[in-house]
Amino acid sequence: MQLPAGLVRDPSGVVTKDPNQEVQDRVALVFNSFLQLRTARRVTRVLREHDLALPRNDRHGEVYWARPTVAAVTSMLKNPAYAGVFAYGRTHAREAAVPGGQQNQVRRPAGECRIMVRDRYPAYVGWETHEKIQTMLRDNRAEYAKLQTRGVPRDGAALLHCLIDKVVLRRVARDAASVRVVWRGGAVSELTVALPVNSLAALPRGAEMEARVLELARAGMHDEEIAQVLAAEGHRSPGLDEGVLPATARTIRLRHGIKVMRRCTRWPRAPGWLTVADVALQLQVPQRWLRERLWAGAIQTTREPSGRYLLPDRPDTLDALRQLRAGTIRNIDPTRSS
């Protein structure tokens, strides 16, 4: 099972906290902030105000940093792994709303998982704190639903209700619907609105967008930059009615095996040194392979107090790593000749 950001498996398979201290601190900050601010929305707002990204895992298990969202913060708060719990069966299938329709995967409360083993992982919060957080999240949701149905409509909604006779919706394509508004008095307004879809193939310009992502990625642009260009050109992510998510660009790029140098959002560049991400890109090897050998001591090099590993930026460093990868040598220390 894939671990959430902040937890990793060492070479022996034992789960530990991510050795990157900044990742640990950011995960802890989310939980501590929630206990003080009491809502995921406030935590998200504070993180954004201070320009603090969240560590997330991609489908390959590699950590990347993403802009905080309420959904991402809530997902972290609900994950029992951060309380040291191995949980299996966190979702179950719910019957489709219409006969023959697709079943939906619904997440179970943490205490109702099919299998739960406590003290399996190093915890960021205790189990009692985790349960307290789940109660707070449920209360927030219940209070929100209560407020949404309380009192009289807002002035704008009440005014529209008085002015509109009826609204007719008709789906005209997989990703679009026509809206016909009949106003009291007989006037009619018509417009077409975009609808979220569940796949890139369902978008009329999906193939065009995919080709554009590949073009920009091969030119060296990062996912965030690609998303901005695509949005300006009128493209959109499948799950949105407008705009493009960096995750959409990343998914397309990785599906075609295109790797780009990750943008360093935490540390400044160190002249004369290579980061793990730099080496992985130049040698076309997984970052996990490098980190496992760093943790095991097969690669001896410099490590900053922040947790970042640095290797000398020299041809002999890369040659030694290639030999280590091929199995012709068992360990290296590129700093000895620096």
Supply the DSSP string of 121-136, one letter for each residue: S--SS-HHHHHHHHHH
CATH number at residue 47: 3.90.1750.20
Is the C-alpha dihedral spanning 277, 27, 2, 125 positive or negative?
Answer: positive
The CATH number given to whatever domain includes residue 298 is: 1.10.1660
pTM: 0.43
Q: Is residue 335 part of a domain?
A: no
Q: What is the dihedral of CA 214, 217, 221, 222, to 10 degrees?
A: 100
Task: Give yes or no: residues 21 and 139 share one domain.
Answer: yes
How many angstroms separate the CA atoms of 201 and 206, rounded?
6
Residues 27 and 128 in one domain: yes
Which of 119, 148, 177 terminates a domain? The answer is: 148
Task: Report if residue 11 sits inside a domain.
Answer: yes
Q: Do 160 and 143 reside in the same domain of the chain?
A: no
| Residues 215 and 230 both lie in one domain | yes
> Model confidence over 149-182: pLDDT tens digits?
444 444 455 556 667 888 888 888 878 888 888 8
Please report the pLDDT score of residue 303 as a whole number.
Answer: 85
Residues of the chain falling short of pLDDT 50: 97-98, 149-155, 338
Domain tally for the chain? 4
Rg of the chain (C-alpha set): 25
Please check whether residue 140 lies inside any domain of the structure.
Answer: yes
pLDDT at 152: 43
299 and 277 in a single domain? The answer is: yes
Q: Which of 22, 66, 28 is nearest to 308 (CA)?
A: 22
Return d(Cα 135, Cα 28) in angstroms, integer.
Answer: 19
Query: Are residue 131 and residue 228 in the same domain, yes or no?
Result: no
Supply the DSSP symbol for 338: -
Question: Per-residue pLDDT tens for 90-112?
Answer: 555 555 544 555 555 555 555 55
Domain carrying residue 166: 155-194
Has residue 170 been placed in a domain? Answer: yes
- Do 175 and 213 reside in the same domain of the chain? no
Instruction: Indicate whether 52 and 104 sit together in one domain.
Output: yes
